[in-house]
Structure 1
Amino acid sequence: MAETSRSTVFGRRKEPHTVIIARGDHIRHFQVRPWVVALAGSAFAAMAIGYLLATSYLVFRDDLIDATSARQARLQQAYEDRISALRAQVDRITSRQMLDQQLMETKVGELLERQTQLTQRHGRLGPILDRAEAEAATLPPAAPLPPHKPDVRAESAGRSPDFSLASAATTPFSFWSTRNSEAPGETSADRADRLFVAINLSLRTIESEQLTRINTLAEDAYQTADAISNVLEDAGLPVDIDDGKSGIGGPLVTISNPALFDTKVKELDEALDLLDRMKSEARRLPIANPSPGHSVSSTFGVRKDPLLGSPAMHSGIDFRAPMGSDARVTAAGTVVTAGWNGGYGRMVEVQHAGGFTTRYGHLSKVLVKKGQQVSAGAVVGKVGSSGRSTGPHLHYEVRRNGDALNPVRFLKAGKKVSQYL
């Protein structure tokens, strides 16, 4: 390789590198360009770098593989842990949903059972309440029932209560759950639970109102029967009624609602039966007024005889009634005498239950016949002055087994009892 420099007009020019190869007689030479040198150097550098990288890879390959495997294992473990956590959460949610569903089904079943009981009770209460109301219509006003709560306005006759969430929000006690107040994040199950609480309390209120109503009606019936009995006993009139009560007692032991309801209904039925028997017994007695609206002019007992002026026994009472006024029978019975009867003049005698008889004397006209059945209040004749009499009036007697009794006792008892009949 030789380098020559030549002088030129523009100065020295650098000769390119020349490579000479001699082989025997053959000589070859070629010039090496700078870019060829650069290319060769670059190729050599690349090969060197590649060799170094390959050597490094071969040296550190196991470590890289182990690190990669560990990283993949960590990622897989984290993924599996996440999957397990999600599965556990899904299981919890599913379990809660199943529990809520079972709870809902239980609550719905209980509500349906309660509704069925209320429907059956209403069917049983219908006739007996109608009977009790019919009896109560003839009685003095009873004490009013306790006022209802504002959120429940259902009558025991069957009106539907207000099952709103607004009423459930103010509920102080939950039958199934303690979730009563609406809280942030409340679920539909929570709201449904509060609704069931409100419905349950409303049904309980209806049941309580039914029992309260039954108790009130039974108490009113017993009080009325006792009042009738007391009036008749105070008047000395016989009352032969078995009220079904006896000397019993013991500690109070509560029972279930169905049994309690049946007991209360039976008690009301017995009270109404007792009241009916007492009314029937009272109607059998001659306690009505034979001449309504007219005053008594002569009482029962010893008096001055109006014709002779000497003391004499007056076996009845006289009503100051005008000629032709109605003489009404004071109780149902059978006519045993209808016509003229000595000093009584025209007289009607009626046989009643319990050995009682009533007599209506000094009539101007008799309107019934012997053997005829008459009801209380029926007109048996017209007031007159026949027989041993000084003027128009109605002579009225009450006898039992032939013995004369003071009719005033019967009239006073009838006046007191009339408000219950």
Structure 2
Amino acid sequence: MSQTRSSAVFGKRKEPHTIIIAHGDDIRHFTVRPWMAALCGSVLAAIAIGYLLATSYLVLRDDLIGATVARQARLQQAYEDRISALRTQVDRITSRQLLDQRLMESKVAELLDRQEELSERNGRMLPLLEKAAGASAGSADIPIPSAKPEVRADIAPANAYAASAVTNSAVAALARITKGSTAGKAGSASIADRADLMFLTINKSLREIESRQLEKIRTLTENAYKTADTIVAALESAGLEIDATYGSSDAGGPLVPVTGAESFDSEVEELDEALSKLDSVRDAATKMPIANPAPGRVVTSGFGVRRDPLIGKPAFHAGIDFRASIGLPVHATGTGTVSKAGWNGGYGRMVEIDHGDGLTTRFAHLSEIKVTEGQAIEVGQLLGLAGSSGRSTGPHIHYEIRRDDKPLNPVKFLKAGKAIGTLL
């Protein structure tokens, strides 16, 4: 065993432990320093702790591995749920975009159909408008109700072209909107709303154009009927009848309004019928002697009983006389065929025109004849030159109108011609 020593300065201190091993005559001793004891103790403690940890790990390993696997499984499930939710949202947005795109495509197709319909209408209206172009000058003299706009033959084509331009720009705009519909749910809804608003606006514009087209067609139809009625009334006042059945019809039945394309077709057919009737009335009117053979010339002797200029006794004057100098051109007052052209007793040099239906005109006391018998004559064509041939007291134009060789008063015809001259 070790012995302890004391120090005057530091007090007592323990001596290091000494281990003595005796074996027979052999004696060995070891001195154990404090640090060596501490080191051995630390090693033994570390070995004990390691042993305990290893034992605990072996005992709890399965539980730890199971907890780790469960945690990883929970994380994976959470990721999969998130991915599934995102995929569902993407599918919903894609479906919405597809629906919006299909809606846009259907609306664009509808606009294209409307454009094609307007183009077809324009194609149908152009011949009628060309036909109505001749009626536009006369229509200006016909009273038009104030509620209706001014008649212009170029309105419908302009409207059709305007509709085509509107539709083309609309299709381009809707296409741009459809291409830009890849934003999100809110953006897609906003784009769809804007597209719907644009579609409604364009649809309204197209309907207004169609409405104006129909209104113009109705106005042209009404003006054509009014022009025809005015011509017929003026001719009837002169005792001329175009058609005994004109303006009369036996028809009836309940009113069944038509709409849409049927309405347009009906209006176009009505306009075509009105223009055809107006053309027939005009053709018939131009064949009748209602023009003035000597425009601007004074009538020196009227129709009926008068004092004969040569013998001074009452006598019947079968026509009217216009003051004219020798050589003044004399023109036809209606279409027809020359039935006589030559000397005819007291008429002197005379031209007679057959206008059909027993109606004839005579131009007498001519100095020169410019037509031959059997020649076809148009309104305003030169027949001869004024003179004083035959039974005459001076140069003038003697003008007669006869029906079935019975003389009629030419003044009524001249008044009718003056009334409807701008309508022919």
The alignment's TM-score, normalised by the length of structure 2, stands at 0.81
- Aligned Cα root-mean-square deviation (Å): 3.4
The answer to whether structure 1 residue 82 and structure 2 residue 85 are counterparts is no
2:293 maps to which residue? 290
* SS state at 2:296 partner: coil
Q: CA deviation at 1:76?
A: 3.4
The answer to whether structure 1 residue 273 and structure 2 residue 280 are counterparts is no
Q: Distance in 2 between matches of 1:115 and 1:9?
A: 122
* SS state at 1:419 partner: helix
The answer to whether structure 1 residue 247 and structure 2 residue 251 are counterparts is yes
Q: Distance in 1 between matches of 2:10 and 2:75?
A: 73
Q: CA deviation at 1:123?
A: 2.8
Higher helix share: 2
Q: CA deviation at 1:164?
A: 6.2
Q: State which drifts further: 218-227 or 307-316.
A: 307-316
2:127 maps to which residue? 127
- Would the alpha carbon gap of residues 303 and 75 (structure 1) be closer, same or farther in structure 2, given more than 3 Å must change? same
Q: Kindly indicate whether the alpha-carbon contact (under 8 Å) linking 2:107 and 2:199 is maintained by their aligned counterparts in 1.
A: yes
1:177 maps to which residue? none
The answer to whether structure 1 residue 402 and structure 2 residue 414 are counterparts is no
Q: Give the aligned residue type for 2:254.
A: G
- Would the alpha carbon gap of residues 21 and 140 (structure 1) be closer, same or farther in structure 2, given more than 3 Å must change? same
2:361 maps to which residue? 358
Q: CA deviation at 1:392?
A: 2.4
Q: Give the aligned residue type for 2:165.
A: P
- Would the alpha carbon gap of residues 2 and 402 (structure 1) be closer, same or farther in structure 2, given more than 3 Å must change? same
Q: Distance in 2 between matches of 1:405 and 1:30?
A: 176
Q: Give the aligned residue type for 1:333.
A: G
- Uncovered stretches (5+) of structure 2, i.e. residues with no partner: 151-155, 174-185
Q: Distance in 1 between matches of 2:258 and 2:88?
A: 47
Q: Give the aligned residue type for 2:122.
A: H
Q: Kindly indicate whether the alpha-carbon contact (under 8 Å) linking 2:224 and 2:278 is maintained by their aligned counterparts in 1.
A: yes
1:104 maps to which residue? 104
1:221 maps to which residue? 224
1:117 maps to which residue? 117
2:313 maps to which residue? 310
1:171 maps to which residue? none
Q: CA deviation at 1:355?
A: 1.3
Q: State which drifts further: 380-389 or 6-15.
A: 6-15
Q: Kindly indicate whether the alpha-carbon contact (under 8 Å) linking 1:290 and 1:327 is maintained by their aligned counterparts in 2.
A: yes
Q: Kindly indicate whether the alpha-carbon contact (under 8 Å) linking 1:140 and 1:420 is maintained by their aligned counterparts in 2.
A: no
Q: Distance in 1 between matches of 2:195 and 2:390?
A: 88
What whole-Å deviation, never above 9, does each CA across 1:64-103 have from its counterpart, x for those lacking one?
Answer: 5665455444433322321221121011011112212222
Q: Distance in 1 between matches of 2:36 and 2:157?
A: 110
Q: Distance in 2 between matches of 1:10 and 1:202?
A: 116
Q: Distance in 2 between matches of 1:52 and 1:154?
A: 103
- Uncovered stretches (5+) of structure 1, i.e. residues with no partner: 148-152, 169-183
Q: CA deviation at 1:285?
A: 1.0
Q: Kindly indicate whether the alpha-carbon contact (under 8 Å) linking 1:297 and 1:319 is maintained by their aligned counterparts in 2.
A: yes
Q: Kindly indicate whether the alpha-carbon contact (under 8 Å) linking 1:360 and 1:395 is maintained by their aligned counterparts in 2.
A: yes
Q: Kindly indicate whether the alpha-carbon contact (under 8 Å) linking 1:337 and 1:347 is maintained by their aligned counterparts in 2.
A: yes
Q: CA deviation at 1:57?
A: 5.2
Q: Distance in 1 between matches of 2:286 and 2:149?
A: 34
Q: Distance in 1 between matches of 2:133 and 2:352?
A: 37
Q: Give the aligned residue type for 2:388.
A: S
The answer to whether structure 1 residue 20 and structure 2 residue 20 are counterparts is yes
- Would the alpha carbon gap of residues 64 and 154 (structure 1) be closer, same or farther in structure 2, given more than 3 Å must change? farther
Q: CA deviation at 1:140?
A: 2.2
Q: Distance in 1 between matches of 2:250 and 2:277?
A: 14
2:153 maps to which residue? none
Q: CA deviation at 1:222?
A: 1.8
Q: Kindly indicate whether the alpha-carbon contact (under 8 Å) linking 1:155 and 1:209 is maintained by their aligned counterparts in 2.
A: no
1:161 maps to which residue? 165
What whole-Å deviation, never above 9, does each CA across 1:287-333 have from its counterpart, x for those lacking one?
Answer: 01111111222222223333343333222222222333222221111
Q: CA deviation at 1:48?
A: 4.2
Q: Distance in 2 between matches of 1:335 and 1:405?
A: 19
Q: Kindly indicate whether the alpha-carbon contact (under 8 Å) linking 1:3 and 1:17 is maintained by their aligned counterparts in 2.
A: no
Q: Kindly indicate whether the alpha-carbon contact (under 8 Å) linking 1:164 and 1:195 is maintained by their aligned counterparts in 2.
A: no
User: What count of residue pairs does the alignment treat as equivalent?
Assistant: 399
- Would the alpha carbon gap of residues 109 and 10 (structure 1) be closer, same or farther in structure 2, given more than 3 Å must change? closer
The answer to whether structure 1 residue 339 and structure 2 residue 342 are counterparts is yes
Q: Give the aligned residue type for 2:129.
A: L
Q: State which drifts further: 347-356 or 319-328.
A: 319-328
Q: Distance in 1 between matches of 2:359 and 2:82?
A: 101
What whole-Å deviation, never above 9, does each CA across 1:342-378 have from its counterpart, x for those lacking one?
Answer: 3323322211122101112232333333322222222
Q: Distance in 2 between matches of 1:352 and 1:90?
A: 86
What whole-Å deviation, never above 9, does each CA across 1:151-178 have from its counterpart, x for those lacking one?
Answer: xx9823524535768xx9xxxxxxxxxx
1:179 maps to which residue? none
Q: Which of residues 356, 381, 386 in structure 2 aligns to 1:383?
A: 386
Q: Kindly indicate whether the alpha-carbon contact (under 8 Å) linking 1:139 and 1:420 is maintained by their aligned counterparts in 2.
A: yes
Q: Give the aligned residue type for 2:107.
A: K
What whole-Å deviation, never above 9, does each CA across 1:392-418 have from its counterpart, x for those lacking one?
Answer: 222211111122111111111000111
Q: Distance in 2 between matches of 1:83 and 1:353?
A: 96
